[in-house]
Amino acid sequence: MAGETAADFAPILYMLGFGLLASVPALILSRLVSPRRRYNPVKFLPMECGQMPTGEGRSHFMMQYYAYILMFVVFDVMSIFLYAWGTALFNIPRAATLPIIGFLGIMFAAMGYALYLAGRKGIW
Amino acid sequence: MASYPQNFRFGEFVGSLIWLIFWVLIIVALVGLPLIFIVLFYVPLPPVGDQVLTPYLFLTSILYPQSAIPVIKTLMGTDLFRVAMFPGFTYAALIAAVTIFIERKFLAKMQLRVGPLYAGKIEGILQLIADGLKLISKEIIVPSGADKLMFWAAPIAFVSTAAAVVALIPAAPGYVVADVDVGLLAVFAILGFFPLIALLFSWASNSKYPFIGGLRALHQMIAFEIPFILSALSVVILSGTLNLTGIVDSQLQSYWFIFFLPISAFVFYISSLAELERIPFDLPEAESEIVAGWLTETSGMIYGLLQLGSYVKTYALAALFVILFLGGWAGPMVFPAEIHTPIVNISPIYDQEAANGSLWFTLKTFGVIMLMLLPRGISPRIRMDILLHTGWYKLIVLAFINIFVALALIYGGILGPGGLLVR
């Protein structure tokens, strides 16, 4: 195929728009039909199993497993990059697979080291 | 116990309904119909076949249904039909509805319960309609301090994004909304939005438990996105294309890929469970730990839309499994070449291939959906660190095993262009 234009992706947007068309009326209808009683301010407090909520809803938090997030940024790009190779596999000579194997070896070593570091306690 | 208002009379209720219908009819007859005809006087009407599409044609087709067939045939070729009806939204929403019902009865049978029983005469078959009416008539409570715009927009975005995934799924030969060359990558790209919507919604609802749930959704994506993508890579290596219709065609020429790549199929299944936030990976909405996770502050139709979106997503991922590994719409022909119906001759719109394909596709999709529902009855929830450990240490390695198997199949001359097993 001779490549594609952005217009080929337009049906995805139609579908997105149809999703909007289907869900917005549902919310509007629900707003029209459902009761709205506002005399009890306790009702609008955040959920705390019936207690008065303590602390803030949005607070600073400890980003646990941060090492995995850093790894994700690298290896997600790697896995998408492999798709470019996987799609073109029939059209490239067999010798072109060797560099990819080398690339995979480098990435595996890096991933092993990163997983070793991610598993270590006390440095994160 | 349902309670009625004190002065409730059923007769008055019916009477008020009849009055309402009467007034609606009067207004439609006096205002609506003249408006329609005034508009139609100025708008040029599209010709369909050899006749012009006018409102009179619809009135004619009530008496002579045969005259509506060419119109239907033309409509079936349009984008609107695809988006709204068959491979698009209505089909996905119907499958989602059936999935919700099947899930309840199936889990109930697994746990020696009876499940929904009262709504509808047979096995509570109208339970879903009852639930829908309940959800639509419940009050939507927006918690104080919530980001209102995000709180209202997130459920809509969730449903629309799930619909956008469905747009890329071919359900029968030629029946796909968006037939793009990079279909598989587009699916991955759109699926990446869901954890972000969960995180946005949880941040918007200004509460502790949703926030924890949203962060967990993020972690889950980090753990399972890479095995998910890599497990589909071996299919791409075998078929040599990213177009989903092309992947199915390459399976029609050889055998289903699940026979060559069982480990990939397993990894794909596990990671799609995680992607769908289903048990055992339902940490973002773990109801016994953090109230209901990122769904804690949802109520009424907001919850309903999020549920609809997640079941449409279930359909999309099960359909993706069917397309990648189970041969899509491949199956023995069960429909006759020509069909004869007594009153209306529907042979102009009858397509044997499409009917057969959509039947097998739907059956296989339901099979995979049942397989996805199964762990909910038999498995406990796993811990966060075990989840990350499973994703990073085990599933990625397993996915790579089948990539090398696929390479060996290609270079060994078994599959690929001119391979041994290619018909």
A73 part of a folded domain: yes
B39 part of a folded domain: no
Is the pLDDT score of B153 beyond 70? yes
Helices (H), B240-341: 244-253, 262-275, 301-325
Pick among B148, B177, B222 to test the A interface (most A CBs inside 10 A):
B222
Q: Output the pLDDT for position B385.
A: 79
Residues in A 36-55 with any Cβ partner in B closer than 8 A:
36-37, 41, 43-49, 53, 55
B147: CB partners within 8 A, 6+ apart: B203, B204, B205, B206
B76 part of a folded domain: no
A54 part of a folded domain: no
| Model confidence pLDDT, tens digit, residues B246-264 | 899 888 888 888 888 899 9
Provide the domain limits for residue A71.
62-119
B167 part of a folded domain: yes
Chain B closest-CA separation from residue A122 CA (Å): 16
A39 part of a folded domain: no
Flag the least confident range among B294-298, B331-335, B383-387, B414-418: B414-418
Residue B300 Ramachandran class (φ > 0 left, ψ -120 to 50 alpha, else beta): left
Determine how many CB atoms are found less than 10 A away from the CB of residue B66.
Answer: 12
B370 part of a folded domain: yes
Provide the domain limits for residue B275.
87-334+347-411
A41 part of a folded domain: no
Considering its fold, how many domains does chain A have in total? Answer: 1
Residue B186 Ramachandran class (φ > 0 left, ψ -120 to 50 alpha, else beta): alpha
Residue B126 exposure: Cα atoms within 13 Å on the Cβ side: 8
Is the pLDDT score of B308 beyond 70? yes
- What average pLDDT does the structure give for chain B? 85
Considering its fold, how many domains does chain B have in total? Answer: 1
Contact B229 A79 (CB under 8 A): yes
* Mean pLDDT for the stretch of residues B307-332: 90
Pick among A4, A5, A20, A23 to test the B interface (most B CBs inside 10 A):
A23
In B129-282, the DSSP E strands lie at none
What would the two tokens of residue B15 be? 């009477």
Is the pLDDT score of B420 beyond 80? no
What would the two tokens of residue B382 be? 């796993």
Determine how many CB atoms are found less than 10 A away from the CB of residue B164.
Answer: 27
A107: CB partners within 8 A, 6+ apart: A75, A78
A68 part of a folded domain: yes
Nearest one of B75, B394, B63, B343 to B231, comparing CA atoms: B394
A7 part of a folded domain: no
A81 part of a folded domain: yes
Yes or no: say if B225 and A76 are a contact pair by the CB < 8 Å rule: yes
Residue B380's SS3 state is coil
Q: Output the pLDDT for position A4.
A: 67
| Residues in B touching A109 (Cβ below 8 Å) | none
B157 part of a folded domain: yes
Contact A44 B417 (CB under 8 A): no
Out of B178, B223, B392, whose CB is closest to A9? B178
| Residues in A touching B403 (Cβ below 8 Å) | 82
B63 part of a folded domain: no
| Residues in B touching A94 (Cβ below 8 Å) | 411
Residue B68's SS3 state is helix
B9 part of a folded domain: no
| Residues in B touching A69 (Cβ below 8 Å) | 222
Distance CA B421, CA B423 (A): 6
Contact A61 B211 (CB under 8 A): yes
Nearest CA in chain B to A32: B137
B420 part of a folded domain: no
Query: Which of the four pLDDT bands, split at 50, 70 and 90, describes residue B1?
Result: very low
Chain A closest-CA separation from residue B267 CA (Å): 15
A30 part of a folded domain: no
